[in-house]
A and B are shown apart, each in its own frame.
Chain A
Amino acid sequence: MKRHHRPLLLAAFAAAALGVLATSATAGHKASIPVPSKVTIAYQPGIGYAPLIMLKTEHTLEAQFPDTTFSWKVLSSGSAITNGMISGDVQIGAGGVGPLIVAWAAGVDLKIVAPLDWGDLWLMAKDPNIKTIADLKGKKIAMPGPTSIQGVVLRKMAQVKLGDAHALDATIISMDHPAAMQALLTGQIDAHLTSAPYQLQEKVQGAHVVARSYQYFGAHSFLDAWETTAFYNQYPAFSKAFFTDVSQAIDLINKNPTKASKVLQDDSGGIPTWRQYKQWIAASGLKFTTQPLGLMRFANFMNKIGMINKMPAAWTDLVLPPVFGTKGS
């Protein structure tokens, strides 16, 4: 008897869900969509994470999803974050393209839910005798890890300039960017393959640019926020709202860098100042956008040199539905 009511009930549910979906993007959270009770968001040091720092400092997500407890963590490498996501400690992680593709190819159920930016990564050295990639043989080069996007970029540089992608593998020292910047400036390491703002700070303090990632890969995606497919499938509306929030934060950074810089200054407790942040954003070589660029170029190269042994068929294999409409590559 009850069976007769089911289609009706379903239709009512569907209508309600659709209504919620339609309004959630604009009017925010409604109690009836499934929301996680606890979300840990992990990212790394650097202004490339500015869109996430905006959400964190402005409490955007907390306001939108009052039933969810959000906690924010800053970890030192993308692989630390992918590990945290596998073990279930972290629900939304953010990092470079490298750890994402390595994880995806190893069968970790991880995809991009919101790209954050494109970024030119500079290889910095302080010793004036280090002028080219060839000068780095047998030296020490710091980066977040061998699977980081910097690790992929270094192998491309080695392949192009030295003929062997793995020629510089033994030079890699795993360090987070703030520690590596200090080590470079005090002479403990020879070079640092990094990102903004560290490359800008190092330049001001006497280091020079040996090579840039854009020279080797063309313009490319740098950072993205990730979710597991399982988490996405459980909370699709929440995840879409997250994507929308990230896009709005990116719009704000692009349209009103002064406001964005002031938010970054609040997050870091006043030092550096917003003027410094504004100057960094302008000079960083970062382009904040939700459009993923060059994911397949990276995957192709990583596959060719044996960093991964499974290729995505298309860039859409690496991203979740909210990103499908962004004309990525």
Chain B
Amino acid sequence: MATVATSASAPRLAWRWGTLPVWARKALLLVALIAVWQAYVSFSHVSHLLWAGPWQTVRAFESGWRDGSLAGPTWTTLKLLLESVGIGAGIAVVFTVFAALSALGTDLLELLTSIFNPLPGVAILPIAMLWFGINRSAIVFTLAMTTIWPIAINLSMGFRTVSPTLVAVGRNIGLSRLRVVTDVLAPAALPHAVTGLKAAWAFGWRTAIASELVFGVAGSKGGLGNYINNARLFFLTPRVFAGLLTIALLGVVFEALFGVAECRTVVRWGMKS
């Protein structure tokens, strides 16, 4: 009976699923995932030291944000990341402009990106600790190193794919080489720049958390990685989950922010659909 019923209703269900709006489908999936999570915690008798349920996680999340114990570390990590991505982007722009202006620069940039881009950010941390000591500068250095290359690659790709006609027009009206870069190449390469920045942010974010896990402090206050690690040391598993939830939510928020920024600029200007 049961099998007959499901096989009969399956096509109808699939049809209905497809016609639901995207947000509703994702919301339903999310609810289902949370239900599975809760069911696992409730019925598997898993140790509460190893798994926190959704409800405990939400409570730890809520109390962490209310008493500031999560807001502080989140701000510390974000500040660290903003600073490092700023430095990384600045260096990347200098490199790419140099590469656009000279053949030597192009070769240098290609060589450097092929050496450094495949390096996982945290791999640089030990040497950064030797050079800068066990402090915030070591993490900033590591993060900047991870963010330079994705930005540089995308930006130079953007420069190279600009229509030659546009560049020729720029030259024709008598722009200097530097002004061709700033007034023609840079705006035309904007979609690639946004992609590079997005990639750099994602790499930097992962590396920031990983670096904070390696050593506790980032300045005087610890960041989110440190928060999670401390919660683990004290066996406060709901807080570990709350820290992870914070990281996931921030990922969603930044994805949305980049989306809005793209809509306002490159999409509106018809450079990207």
Contact = CB atoms under 8 A, between A and B. Distances in A.
A160 interface: no
Interface in B29-59: 47-50
Contacts of B49: 86, 106-108
B251 interface: no
Contacts of B221: 170
Contacts of A107: 48-49, 235
23 contacts: A79-B233, A83-B232, A86-B47, A86-B49, A86-B50, A87-B50, A106-B235, A107-B48, A107-B49, A108-B49, A108-B235, A140-B217, A146-B216, A146-B230, A170-B221, A170-B222, A172-B217, A173-B215, A174-B215, A175-B215, A183-B134, A188-B129, A307-B234
Which range holds the interface residue count of chain A? 20 to 34
A307 B235 CA distance: 11
B216 A173 contact: yes
Contacts of A138: 220
Chain B interface, DSSP helix/strand/loop, else mixed:
loop
Given A107-B49, A108-B49, A170 B230 contact: no
Interface residues of B, number: 21
A83 B240 CA distance: 14
Interface in A96-132: 102-103, 106-108
Binding site secondary structure of chain A: loop
B133 interface: yes
Given A86-B47, A174-B215, A103 B134 contact: no
Q: What 5 A-B pairs are tightest by C-beta distance, nearest first?
A: A106-B235, A147-B233, A79-B233, A170-B220, A188-B133
A78 B222 CA distance: 21
Interface of B: 47-50, 129, 133-135, 215-217, 220-222, 229-230, 232-236
Interface string A67-96: 000000000000100010011000000000
A174 B129 CA distance: 14
A174 B230 CA distance: 10
A138 to B, nearest CB: 7
Interface core residue of B48, B50, B135, B234 (most chain A CB under 10 Å): B234
Contacts of B134: 140, 173, 183, 188-189
Nearest to B229: A174
A296 B120 CA distance: 46
A145 B233 contact: yes
Contacts of B48: 107
Contact of B234 (A102, A140, A188): A102
A135 to B, nearest CB: 16
